[in-house]
């Protein structure tokens, strides 16, 4: 009993203490906060009304210390050319327009000084039309000063990333007058990213200090921090120092060389990891797109020109699912974020069904006539494109990525975009899944039996026509999921399939028709080579070089990387 | 044969019966040469629509008055199907067979270059409404489009004013981006930007893998003060901006100025990834002039029941869903009105006389007053806008009365291009 009372009263006590404390703390605080804010607004108004640039500059710089949202808005408006003056009896008040306008496009004016509406002679809020007003002048030079003030404001930005970016940007300005601000924020800073950004900003600013004793440690710090952002500044310092070695001092040159080498080494690793990741990710895209074809073309030998269109159907399925989820759950939140998982399943099912219809309707009659099946499926691909144009319109549709697929994980300054990571993982899983289905399930056994020797399988009582149908549907289903994946990185439009179909056939042929492992290695080879070549040769030449290399390779080994001999292909 | 004569007789009598003045029955044929199928159809169909809308506007107001008679505009639409040689063939058909008085058309520079000899040989008149690279001047073409010094140069000036020191010029691999970037490079060098701080990269049409390029932009922008000047075309912008946003690049640390994205292109782009980036055009749908409010409203109303009054013509293939207006559309319309005024001044549809009358014509349009100069380009207002999530632009800078100049040699030497 006594324990329970104790438990009950403890929170109450805490609550009481907090409320008391806050009462004591906050009352004088809010009183104190009033005056500097008012002061800032008054200074802002003086700056606006001032005629001389230098006075404006001084006043604007003095605004930095105050965190007043009213002034901040005023500054943003001034810089953007949407701050206006209201004149009554020689009294000028700066104001900005409310974003909300009435039917005639008129809006109420908000005074910067007190955040109240500008009133007309009748005491009602006066309406202004933007086109009739002339903005308070601000030339490029002044806008820059305003921007600096605003940037320093953002040192207190509530969003962590925004604050970090702002600090880095301010550091790059190398303005010693910022140093006290940086040091001030550093004192009570616990967030490691912000701390690092502040340290970096201080070091960058001090790196150009005239005093060698300040300069050298700052440069060394930058090297230790592996500050990628300051490379160009350090490089410039190094170049000028080498031109005038006496003035710069031996110590400075040495520290610069060490710091640059350190950052360079760090960058080299970053580029290496980045290239490997990008290569993997392009390979994964190719693999996901080509895996379905590796089954329908590789295993079954059907030249399916409509393979790309199955991907497009998958992508449109994703779009439709997204639209449904958006109407049910809105465009954010957990419900909406789940849509992609559902879309993956749905696009597989829709792809399967489309494949089933195509196989039953067209391909089953053309198994022994590859050229005709090529033409027929090409016709089907055109039909499907036109159908989508009819239903969804000729323009591309927008598929927005769920929250967990946007943004990137940044490790050592190398960004790993989540959607790319997802495609890599997904590619791995589909390959594994396909492998398991083909080797560990009764269906897989039947598929392999039919593909290797149709006549024999048929004699053994396997219903080959049904196996054909299921295999084709499975391959098409994979194409559908590929479409869902591609919707996260590219365009969704009627011609989506067209831009991938060539790559798909290329990868399957290169890997060796009839060999799924070949497709995996071929997509890896093509993807990584492309990404390694691109930085040197550019996107256009890179692609051409890869294509030329594939042609040469196929001259040397016409059957691809892994040649398979199977009866179905020979006949 | 018999049926046709009797039919035309019947028609003629019907006209005579309906309008006893009989003046209103005269028509003038005007050609529309825009791709309605193929890759360019998405962009060019909007221009066909706005041209028909403008013809309807003029016809409703009494048509074109020349030589004491009023003429109704009768559209002749051909479809060059995004096929460049076909553009020349269709142009020939319009001029030689249909005998149109003027042609409004072309989007890509290739198509314009393809029809240019036809218009010069048959002495036709073409109005070209889409921003282009310049370095061309034909006496038979009037360029209502933005020249490089009305779009690229002001945009770069704005970026220089925002203290940008490094420029990443990214474009699709064809004539407009390559020429524009060549000019911009020269211009940037004249502004003291060293060669090492300018990067120039091209990607093929339909490129989908922007990983390497975005990684190199990220490196380029690491030290801050960098921006991207993009002439990427059409839907390649989607993978680019997705990759760009995912790499943690934003308009704060590295803004992108795109020259090929207008409100109309926006309909197929992920607006969320483009917020805060910039566009530069001589017209934005968000402009708050009375002329523009009326234009947008009238156009939206017209889309619901598209007709061209005064002539025997049925409008088809107009999709009214989610439509917007954009700069090429506005410039198409400006072309029609300038031509109308010139015809009324010359009192004839004769190409040579109308051409002379066109010089110096002024028209107050949705984006302010435009003037046709002797170099066949417009004096126009230039707007720099910031992209909003709604797919509209917020105007952040206005330059009034910028004179279009096709030849870069002229505006690169004279200092009047900016400020």
Domain ranges of chain A: 28-141, 157-248, 281-501
Interface contact B178, partner A, CB < 8 A: no
CB B333 within 8 A of CB B50: yes
Q: Residue A19: its pLDDT value, please?
A: 44
Q: How far apart are the first and last CA of chain B?
A: 66
Query: Tokens for A156?
Result: 């207190």
Span A262-293, pLDDT tens digits: 888 888 888 888 889 999 999 999 999 899 99
Q: Averaged over A487-503, what is the pLDDT? A: 87
- Average pLDDT score over residue span A146-174: 75
- Tell me if B245 and A172 make a contact (CB, 8 A cut-off): no
**Whole-number pLDDT of residue A130:** 67
The minimal CB distance from B208 to the residues A105, A490, A535 is found for A490
Among candidates B224, B246, B270 on the partner chain, residue whose Cβ is nearest the Cβ of A400: B270
Q: Report phi then psi at B226, rounded to 5.
A: -115, 155
Of A408, A491, A535, the CB nearest to B235: A491
Low-confidence ranges of chain B (pLDDT < 70): 1-25, 414-419
Predicted TM-score (pTM) of the model is: 0.76
Q: Where are the beta strands (DSSP E) in A374-483?
A: 408-411, 414-417
d(C-alpha B386, C-alpha B409), whole Å: 30
* Per-residue confidence (pLDDT) for residue A564, from 0 to 100: 66
Paired sense of beta strands B226-231 and B278-281, if any: unpaired
pLDDT of residue B258: 93
Cα-based distances in Å from B217 to A279, A355, B120, B168, B246: 18, 41, 44, 7, 13
* Helix, strand or coil, per DSSP, at residue A92: strand
Residues of A in contact with B218 (CB under 8 A): 415
Q: Is the dihedral of CA B198, B202, B206, B211 positive or negative?
A: negative
Q: Which of A232, A397, A491 sits opposite B239 (nearest CB)?
A: A491
Determine the Cα–Cα distance for residues A283 and B192; give it in Å rounded to an integer: 42
Closest alpha carbon to A318 in A238, A381, A399, A390: A399
Give the number of C-alpha atoms closer than 13 A to the C-alpha of residue A253, restricted to the C-beta side.
Answer: 12
Question: Across the interface, which of B223, B242, B319 has its CB nearest the CB of A232?
Answer: B223
Handedness of CA B271, B273, B277, B278 (dihedral sign): negative
CA distance A36 to chain B (A): 29
The Cα A471–Cα A477 span in angstroms is 10
Q: Is the pLDDT of residue A210 over 60?
A: yes
The residues, ordered by sequence, that sit 6+ positions from A82 with a Cβ below 8 Å of its Cβ are A96, A97, A130, A135
Residues in chain B with CB shorter than 8 Å from the CB of A231 are 222-223
Residue of A nearest to B159 (CA): A140
Query: How far B282 CA lies from chain A's nearest CA (Å)?
Result: 17
At B133, list the tokens.
């690279």
Q: Specify the pLDDT at position A557.
A: 86
Determine the Cα–Cα distance for residues B71 and B65; give it in Å rounded to an integer: 6
A-chain residue closest to B268, CA distance:
A396
Taking residue B121's Cβ as centre, other Cβ atoms within 10 Å add up to 12
Closest Cβ–Cβ partner in A143, A233, A400 for B223:
A233
Searching chain B, which residue's CA lies closest to the CA of residue A331?
Answer: B272
Suggest the residue from B201, B235, B273 to mutate for an interface test with chain A (most A CBs closer than 10 A): B235
Residue range A257-269, pLDDT digits in tens: 888 888 888 888 8
Select from B174, B215, B323, B398 the residue whose CB has the most chain A CBs within 10 Å, as the one to mutate to test that interface. Answer: B215
Residue A86: pLDDT band (50, 70, 90) is confident
Give the range among A189-198, A342-351, A376-385, B142-151 with minimum mean pLDDT.
A189-198
Local structure of residue A81 (DSSP, 8 states): T
Whether residues B397 and A81 touch (CB distance < 8 A) is answered with: yes
A396-422: average pLDDT? 84
Q: Which residue in B204, B218, B293 is closest to A539 by CB distance?
A: B204
Q: How far apart are CA A28 and CA A34, in angstroms?
A: 10
What pLDDT is attached to residue A105?
Answer: 66
Under the banding of pLDDT at 50, 70 and 90, the label for residue A42 is confident
A405-422 burial by CB neighbour count: b if 16+ within 10 A, else e? bbbbeeeebbbbbbbbbb
What Rg value do the Cα atoms of chain B yield, rounded?
A: 22
H-helix or E-strand spanning residue A448: helix A442-452
pLDDT in tens, B290-319: 999 999 999 999 999 999 998 888 888 788
Contact B254, B228 (CB under 8 A): yes
Mean pLDDT over residues A60-75, rounded? 76
Tell me what pLDDT residue A566 has: 52
- What pLDDT, on a 0 to 100 scale, did the predictor assign at position B330? 96
3-state DSSP call for residue A415? strand
Interstrand relation of B198-203 and B166-172 (parallel, antiparallel or unpaired): parallel
pLDDT in tens, A536-562: 888 888 888 999 999 999 898 888 888
Give B223's contacts in chain A (Cβ within 8 Å).
172, 229-233
Reference B214, options A116, A45, A29, A489; nearest CA is A489
Query: Measured between alpha carbons, how far is residue B251 from residues A162, B218, B268 in Å?
Result: 12, 13, 20
Q: Is B37 exposed, middle or buried (0-12, 13-18, 19+ CB in 10 A)?
A: middle
Q: Is A281 helix (H, G, I), strand (E, B) or coil?
A: helix
| pLDDT band at A131; cut points 50, 70, 90 | low
Which residues of chain B make contact with A162, given a CB cutoff of 8 A? 252
Express each pLDDT in B48-73 by its tens digit. 999 999 999 999 999 999 988 899 99
Pairing of strands A91-97, A83-88: antiparallel
Sheet containing B141-143: order of strands: B64-66, B69-78, B27-33, B102-105, B126-128, B141-143
Of chain A, the percentage scoring pLDDT greater than 90 comes to: 23
**Number of residues written out for chain A:** 571
Beta-bridge partners for B105: B33
Q: Fill in the DSSP letter of residue A563.
A: -
For chain A, what is the largest distance between any 2 Cα atoms, rounded to a whole number of angstroms? Answer: 105
Distance from CA of B290 to the nearest CA of A (A): 10
Distance from CA of A277 to the nearest CA of B (A): 10
Question: Nearest C-alpha of chain B: how many angstroms from A504?
Answer: 14
pLDDT at A103: 66
Lowest mean pLDDT among A181-190, A348-357, A419-428, B6-15: B6-15
Chain-centroid distance, C-alpha B195: 32
**A108 SS3 class:** strand
Query: Distance (Å) from the C-alpha of residue A393 to the closest C-alpha of chain B?
Result: 9
User: What pLDDT sits at residue B367?
Assistant: 93
| Beta pairing class for B378-387 and B368-372 | antiparallel
Query: Within chain A, how many helices (H) and strands (E) appear?
Result: 22, 6
Residue A175 has pLDDT above 50, yes or no: yes
In A, minimum Cα distance to B172 occurs at: A540
Q: What sections of A120-244 are H helices per DSSP?
A: 140-153, 160-172, 179-187, 192-207, 212-225, 231-243
The DSSP code for A94 is E
List for chain A the helix, strand, coil content (%; round to 5).
75, 5, 20
Is residue B288 within 8 Å of residue B225, measured between CB atoms? no
A348: number of CA atoms within 13 Å, CB side?
Answer: 9
Q: Does B355 touch chain A (CB under 8 A)?
A: no
Of B242, B269, B396, the CB nearest to A81: B396
Q: Which of B238, B267, B397 sits opposite A491 (nearest CB)?
A: B238
Identify any residues that bridge with B27 across adjacent strands, giving them in sequence order: B72
Mean pLDDT over A505-528 rounds to 89
Strands B27-33 and B69-78 turn out to be: parallel
Helix (H/G/I), strand (E/B), else coil: A303: coil
Nearest chain B Cα distance for residue A196, angstroms: 16
- d(C-alpha B106, C-alpha B87), whole Å: 8
* CA atoms of A391 and A386, how far apart (whole Å): 9
Q: Is B253 on the interface with A (CB under 8 A)?
A: yes
Query: What percent of chain A clears pLDDT 70, i.e. is strictly above it?
Result: 88
Taking CA atoms, what residue in A is nearest to B395?
Answer: A80
**B351-388: b or e for each residue (b if 16 or more CB lie within 10 Å)?**
beebbebbeebebebbbbebbbbebbbbbbbbbbbbbe
| CB-CB neighbors (< 8 A) of A230 in chain B | 223
Q: Which residues of A touch B268 (CB under 8 A)?
A: 395-398, 491, 493
With beta carbons under 8 A apart, name residues in chain B contacting A410.
248
> Which residue from A312, A315, A311 is spatially nearest to A290, judged by alpha carbons?
A311
Per the listing, tokens 């704005």 go with B158
Which has the minimum average pLDDT: A208-217, A508-517, B30-39, B58-67? A208-217
Question: Does residue A148 carry a pLDDT above 80?
Answer: no
pLDDT of residue A158: 67
Q: Which residue has the tokens 């502004």?
A: B191
Contact list in A for residue B238 (CB cut-off 8 A) is 396, 490-491
Lowest mean pLDDT among A86-95, A289-298, B3-12: B3-12
Q: Is B319 on the interface with A (CB under 8 A)?
A: yes
Helix (H) or strand (E) holding A564: none
Chain B residues in contact with A504 by the CB 8 A cut-off are none
Residue A140 pLDDT? 64
Domains of chain B are 24-147+292-379 (3.40.50.2300), 148-285+380-417 (3.40.50.2300)
pLDDT score for A421? 93
SS (H, E, C) chain B: CHHHHHHHHHHHHHHHHHCCCCHHHCEEEEEEECCCCCCCHHHHHHHHHHHHHHHHHHHHCCCEEECCEEEEEEEEEECCCCCHHHHHHHHHHHHHHCCCCEEEECCCHHHHHHHHHHHHHCCCCEEECCCCCCCCCCCCEEECCCCHHHHHHHHHHHHHHCCCCEEEEEEECCHHHHHHHHHHHHHHHHCCCCHHHEEEEEECCCCCCCHHHHHHHHHHCCCCCEEEEEECCHHHHHHHHHHHHHCCCCCCCCCEEECCCCHHHHCCCCHHHHCCCEEEECCCCCCCCHHHHHHHHHHHHHHHCCCCCCCCCCCCCCCCCCCCCCHHHHHHHHHHHHHHHHHHHHCCCCHHHHHHHHCCCEEEECCEEEEECCCCEEEEEEEEEEECCCCCEEEEEEEEEEECCCCHHHHHHCHHHCC
């Amino acid at each position: 009993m006594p324990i329970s009372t104790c438990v009950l009263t403890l929170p109450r006590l805490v609550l009481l203490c907090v409320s008391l404390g806050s009462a004591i703390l906050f009352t004088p605080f809010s009183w104190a906060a009033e005056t500097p804010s008012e002061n800032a607004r008054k200074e802002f108004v003086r700056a606006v009304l001032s005629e001389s640039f230098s006075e404006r500059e001084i006043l604007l710089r003095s605004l930095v210390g105050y965190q007043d949202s009213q002034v901040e808005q005023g500054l943003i408006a001034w810089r953007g050319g949407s701050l206006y003056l209201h004149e009554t009896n020689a009294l000028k008040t700066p104001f900005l327009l409310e974003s909300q306008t009435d039917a005639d496009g008129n809006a109420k004016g908000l005074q910067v000084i007190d955040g109240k509406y500008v009133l007309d002679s009748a005491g009602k809020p006066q309406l202004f039309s933007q086109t009739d007003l002339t903005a308070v002048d601000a030339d490029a030079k002044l806008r820059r000063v305003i921007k600096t003030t605003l940037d320093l404001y953002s040192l207190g930005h509530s969003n962590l990333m925004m604050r970090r970016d702002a600090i880095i940007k301010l550091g790059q300005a190398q303005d010693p007058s910022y140093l006290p601000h940086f040091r001030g924020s550093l004192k009570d800073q616990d967030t490691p990213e912000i701390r690092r950004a502040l340290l970096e900003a201080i070091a960058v600013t001090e790196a150009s200090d005239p005093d060698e004793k300040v300069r050298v440690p700052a440069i060394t710090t930058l090297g230790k921090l592996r500050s990628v952002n300051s490379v160009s500044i350090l490089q410039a310092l190094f170049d000028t120092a080498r031109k005038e070695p006496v003035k710069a001092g031996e110590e400075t040159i040495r520290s610069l060389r060490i710091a640059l080498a350190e950052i360079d080494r760090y960058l080299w690793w970053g580029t290496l990891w980045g290239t490997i990741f990008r290569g993997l990710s392009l390979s994964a895209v190719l693999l996901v797109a080509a895996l379905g074809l590796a089954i329908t073309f590789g295993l079954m030998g059907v030249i399916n020109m409509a393979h790309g269109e199955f991907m497009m159907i998958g992508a449109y399925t994703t779009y439709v699912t997204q639209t449904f989820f958006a109407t049910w759950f809105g465009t954010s939140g957990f419900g909406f974020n789940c849509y992609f998982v559902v879309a993956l399943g749905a696009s597989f099912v829709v792809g399967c069904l489309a494949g089933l219809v195509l196989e039953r309707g067209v391909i089953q009659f053309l198994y022994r006539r590859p050229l005709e099946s090529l033409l027929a499926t090409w016709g089907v691909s055109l039909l499907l494109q036109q159908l989508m144009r009819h239903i969804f319109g000729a323009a591309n549709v927008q598929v927005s990525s769920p929250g967990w697929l946007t943004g990137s994980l940044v490790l050592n300054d190398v960004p790993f975009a989540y959607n790319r990571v997802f495609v890599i993982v997904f590619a791995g899983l589909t390959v594994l899944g396909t492998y398991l289905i083909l080797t560990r399930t009764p269906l897989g056994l039947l598929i392999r039996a039919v593909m290797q020797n149709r006549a024999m399988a048929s004699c053994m009582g396997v219903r080959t026509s049904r196996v054909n149908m299921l295999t084709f549907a499975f391959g098409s289903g994979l194409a559908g999921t590929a479409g869902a994946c591609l919707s996260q990185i590219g365009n969704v439009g009627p011609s989506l399939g067209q831009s991938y179909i060539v790559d798909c056939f290329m990868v399957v042929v290169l890997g060796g028709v009839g060999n799924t492992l070949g497709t995996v290695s071929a997509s890896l080879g093509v993807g990584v080579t492309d990404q390694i070549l691109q930085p040197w040769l550019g996107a256009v030449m890179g692609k051409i070089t890869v294509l030329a290399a594939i042609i040469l390779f196929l001259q040397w080994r016409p059957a691809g990387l892994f040649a398979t001999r199977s009866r179905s292909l020979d006949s | 044969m018999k049926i046709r004569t009797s039919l035309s007789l019947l028609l003629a009598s019907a006209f005579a019966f309906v309008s006893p003045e009989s003046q209103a029955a005269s028509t003038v044929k005007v050609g529309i040469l825009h791709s309605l199928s193929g890759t360019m159809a998405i962009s060019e169909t909007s221009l066909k629509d706005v041209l028909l809308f403008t013809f309807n506007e003029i016809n409703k107001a009494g048509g074109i008055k020349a030589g004491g008679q009023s003429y109704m505009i009768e559209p002749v639409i051909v479809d060059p199907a995004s096929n460049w040689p076909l553009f020349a063939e269709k142009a020939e058909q319009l001029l030689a067979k249909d005998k149109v008085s003027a042609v409004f058309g072309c989007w890509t520079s290739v198509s314009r270059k393809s029809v240019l000899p036809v218009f010069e040989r048959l002495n036709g008149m073409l109005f070209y409404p889409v921003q282009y690279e310049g370095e061309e001047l034909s006496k038979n073409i009037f360029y209502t489009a933005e020249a490089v010094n009305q779009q690229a140069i002001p945009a770069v000036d704005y970026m220089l004013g925002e203290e940008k020191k490094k420029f990443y010029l990214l474009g699709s691999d064809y004539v407009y981006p390559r020429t524009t970037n060549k000019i911009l490079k020269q211009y940037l060098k004249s502004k003291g930007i060293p060669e090492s701080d300018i990067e120039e990269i091209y990607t093929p049409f339909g490129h989908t893998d922007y990983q390497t390029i975005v990684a190199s932009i990220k490196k380029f922008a690491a030290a801050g003060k960098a921006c991207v000047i993009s002439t990427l075309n059409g839907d390649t912008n989607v993978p680019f901006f997705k990759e760009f946003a995912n790499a943690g690049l934003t308009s704060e640390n590295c803004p992108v100025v795109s020259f090929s994205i207008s409100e109309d292109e926006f309909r197929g782009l992920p607006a969320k990834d483009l917020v805060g980036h910039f566009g530069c055009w001589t017209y934005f749908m968000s402009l708050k002039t009375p002329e523009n409010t009326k234009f947008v409203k009238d156009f939206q109303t017209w889309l619901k029941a598209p007709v061209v009054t005064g002539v025997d013509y049925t409008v088809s293939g107009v999709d009214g869903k989610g439509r917007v207006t954009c700069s090429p559309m506005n410039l198409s319309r400006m072309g029609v009105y300038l031509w109308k005024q010139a015809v009324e001044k010359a009192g004839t549809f004769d190409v040579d006389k109308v051409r002379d009358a066109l010089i110096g014509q002024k028209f107050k349009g949705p984006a302010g007053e435009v003037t046709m100069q002797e170099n066949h380009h417009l004096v126009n207002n230039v707007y720099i806008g910031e992209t909003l999530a709604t797919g509209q632009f917020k105007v952040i800078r206005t330059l009034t009365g910028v004179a279009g100049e096709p030849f870069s040699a002229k505006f690169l030497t004279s200092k009047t291009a900016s400020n």
